[in-house]
């Protein structure tokens, strides 16, 4: 394990990754799914308060940063008409499932159950972007997700006592960002061909 002071390094890396995403969104290169990113802000924010009420360690600061940066991305998507992804019925269904988990989360007074529900809410919110990353990787910013892999890994390495309240959400974030990074760095042949046609 490493010193908890490295949490600050992890926070800087996470913010830098989000700034890359915001920059590409403002340029119209990246087109975020607003349903995903809005709920990606709400779910971790609730997780942060759940971790805080359960007396989590310094690692909960990472959850707070993960909660705040998606709102900046949503705001950036409104500043460029090309910088958004059209919402589908699947997005709405995933958003509704995420919202249901959040409602259940707010109704519970059990900190650990709240964390589980927040992870479910975050996962449901992320499914549209998982699908989009698989089908249209050119509409995402791989560097932003790779930065989150590094930052979440650093946070996990700072954990001195492995209690659920400290590691659960960070471990989930690591898993999701490894998934996104893999999908975006190693796109399928069809998506490569489509990208070449669009640029050619």
Domain for residue 118, yes or no? yes
Instruction: Quickly state the pLDDT bin for 101 (edges 50, 70, 90).
Output: confident
Domain for residue 64, yes or no? yes
* Contact residues for 20 (Cβ-Cβ < 8 A; gap 6+): 141, 143, 144, 147
Which pLDDT score, from 0 to 100, does residue 157 have? Answer: 94
Domain for residue 191, yes or no? yes
Ramachandran sector of residue 140 (left: φ over 0; alpha: ψ -120 to 50; beta: rest): beta
Helix ranges (DSSP H) in the chain: 6-26, 34-53, 60-77, 89-107, 111-135, 142-157, 164-185, 189-199
Domain for residue 28, yes or no? yes
Burial of 199 per CB tally in 10 Å (0-12, 13-18, 19+): exposed
Domain for residue 1, yes or no? no
Instruction: Quickly state the pLDDT bin for 199 (edges 50, 70, 90).
Output: very low
Domain for residue 163, yes or no? yes
Domain for residue 62, yes or no? yes
CA distances from 131 to 114, 136, 138, 184, 200 (A): 26, 8, 13, 11, 25
**What average pLDDT does the segment 192-197 reach?**
50
Q: Which domain holds residue 141?
A: 6-199
Q: Which of 175, 77, 55, 62 is nearest to 123 (CA)?
A: 175
Question: 176 — phi, psi (to 5°)?
Answer: -65, -40
More confident residue, 57 or 68: 68
Instruction: Quickly state the pLDDT bin for 191 (edges 50, 70, 90).
Output: low
Q: In the chain, pLDDT over 90 holds for what percent of residues?
A: 46
**What average pLDDT does the segment 76-92 reach?**
85
Interval 4-29: pLDDT, tens: 889 999 999 999 999 999 999 999 89
- Distance between CA atoms of residues 166 and 177, nearest Å: 18
Q: Which residue has the tokens 């460029």?
A: 80
Domain count, the chain: 1
**What average pLDDT does the segment 165-178 reach?**
91
Domain for residue 157, yes or no? yes
Interval 107-131: pLDDT, tens: 877 778 888 888 899 999 999 999 9
């Amino acid at each position: 394990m490493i010193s908890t002071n490295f949490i600050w390094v992890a926070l800087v890396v996470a913010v830098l990754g989000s700034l890359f995403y915001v920059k590409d969104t403002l340029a119209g290169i990246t087109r975020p799914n607003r349903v995903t990113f809005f709920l990606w802000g709400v779910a971790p924010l609730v997780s942060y308060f759940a971790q805080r009420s359960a007396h989590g360690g310094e690692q909960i600061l990472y959850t707070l940063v993960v909660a705040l940066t998606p709102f900046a991305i949503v705001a950036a998507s409104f500043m460029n008409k090309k910088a958004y992804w059209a919402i589908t019925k699947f997005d709405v269904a995933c958003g509704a499932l995420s919202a249901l988990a959040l409602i259940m989360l707010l109704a519970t007074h059990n900190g650990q159950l709240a964390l589980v529900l927040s992870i479910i809410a975050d996962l449901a919110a992320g499914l549209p972007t998982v699908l989009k990353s698989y089908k249209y990787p050119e509409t995402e910013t791989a560097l932003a997700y790779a930065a989150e892999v590094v930052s979440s890994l650093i946070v996990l390495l700072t954990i001195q006592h492995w209690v659920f309240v400290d590691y659960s959400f960070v471990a989930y974030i690591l898993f999701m960002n490894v998934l996104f990074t893999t999908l975006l760095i190693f796109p399928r042949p069809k998506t490569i061909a489509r990208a070449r046609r669009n640029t050619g």
